[in-house]
Amino acid sequence: MEKDPFKEYLRESEPDKAHKGYAWSTAIGLQAVDGLKPSKYLIDTAIQNIEGKITMKEVQSLIDSYYEERPVHLSDDERTEEADKVSSRIAEILSETAFSFSPNEYISIHRKLFRGIYKHAGKIRDYNITKKEWVLDGATVMYGSASELRATLEYDFSQEKDFSYKGLSMDEIIHHLAVFVSRLWQIHIFGEGNTRTTAVFFIKYLRTLGFSATNDIFAENAWYFRNALVRANYTNLQKGIHETTEYLEVFLRNLLLNEKNELHNRNLHISGLLNEEKVDIGDSKVDIENEKVDIQDKKVDIESVLSGKGSDFSVKTTIHIHRLFERFGFDEVFGRSAVMELLELKGSGASKLLSNLVKADIIEPVSGHGKGRYKFKK
């Protein structure tokens, strides 16, 4: 999220406003893990809720009416509705005190967040999945097998229920929490929405352990959180890469202890090439964390786009890039017809998108595969 419109409320002297501000800040920030951004209407409506002018139920009613009455051709993007509705539902869940540490609660949160959005809301997937990850240079985490998801989920919950935190140092507690949440996420029991569901459940669980976690860490670093989960579940011995919770632990130290450790996505990339402060792109140097670019005359790196930072791409274009990268990664070659099919674009729209991404140095033409073929540029 480029600027948190609710940050001022985190410092409110009125506890109710501060609590609501945190809930909304986190809810909207978490949409970044799937490349989503809420509408201005949602933000304005949320502020009315924080100010006590309308209830959470009224917020959701207004959002539902907004999309029922809004002509389809006026919609900025088909997934803006998802961002708005899921944000309001996350804010509602985080505002509630009720919670049960169980697999059913975890599944119930997914159902509440995505009802009417995904057909599989609250349902365990019955197929295997892979997702190409930028932080893994296009490789994928090995997610749980479809045939064993429920059993694996119940086992992890039983292990955590039987675990005792008594006598542990804070470092040991944070390490254990990192292991628990990374394993829960790695199961990936749903077809979509796993990271948002896991984050909401985890925040609620942390409260039962006595942590308030009412700051803006999730709101401002949702993409880092997801990348840290990825790194906690990926091993490639040939490349000397081992799964590690170190990045999650740094995130949790900021979340739970209010430390100020820097959280940079480039530090998580397995190549190590992005650990430098600057990277060469074309003929110029670009700061991959902060630089804003005009795609017509400057270059932009893939991390900036996928993290939602440092890019002037529209919401629609950003989501298109997310989908293309998830499908093709760094290694696979694709052309206009594949873009048309995947993104449901007309030929002219696909051609314009490809042209803009080439200008921005996000993709590059490749030879040896026929005319008009491209791949993501590392």
Tokens, residue 310: 């440092």
Q: What is the pLDDT of residues 133-171, one digit of tens each?
A: 989 989 999 999 999 999 999 999 999 999 999 999 999
pLDDT number for residue 16: 83
Pairing of strands 334-335, 373-376: antiparallel
- Which one, of 113, 71, 63, lies nearest residue 92 by Cα? 113
Q: What is the pLDDT of residues 27-68, one digit of tens each?
A: 999 998 888 889 999 999 999 999 999 999 999 999 999 998
- Which one, of 352, 16, 24, lies nearest residue 218 by Cα? 24
Q: Is 174 exposed, middle or buried (0-12, 13-18, 19+ CB in 10 A)?
A: buried
Coil, helix or strand at residue 240: coil
pLDDT number for residue 330: 86
Cα 188 to Cα 18, 152, 316: the distances in Å are 32, 10, 26
| Cα gap 335→375, rounded to integer Å | 9
Sign for the CA dihedral angle at 297, 298, 299, 300 comes to: negative
Task: Provide the pLDDT confidence category of residue 347 given band limits of 50, 70 and 90.
Answer: confident
pLDDT number for residue 311: 55
Q: Confirm if 22 and 215 have CB atoms less than 8 A apart.
A: yes
* Eight-class DSSP state of 74: G
Half-sphere exposure of 95 (CA within 13 A, CB side): 23
pLDDT number for residue 286: 33
335 membership: H or E segment, kind and range: strand 334-335
Residue 270 has pLDDT above 80, yes or no: yes
Residue 281 has pLDDT above 50, yes or no: no
Task: Tokens 């499908």: give the residue.
Answer: 327
Lowest model confidence (mean pLDDT) among 15-19, 209-213, 282-286, 367-371: 282-286
Q: Confirm if 293 and 299 have CB atoms less than 8 A apart.
A: yes
Pairing of strands 279-281, 363-365: unpaired
If you average pLDDT over residues 17-21, what whole number do you get? 88
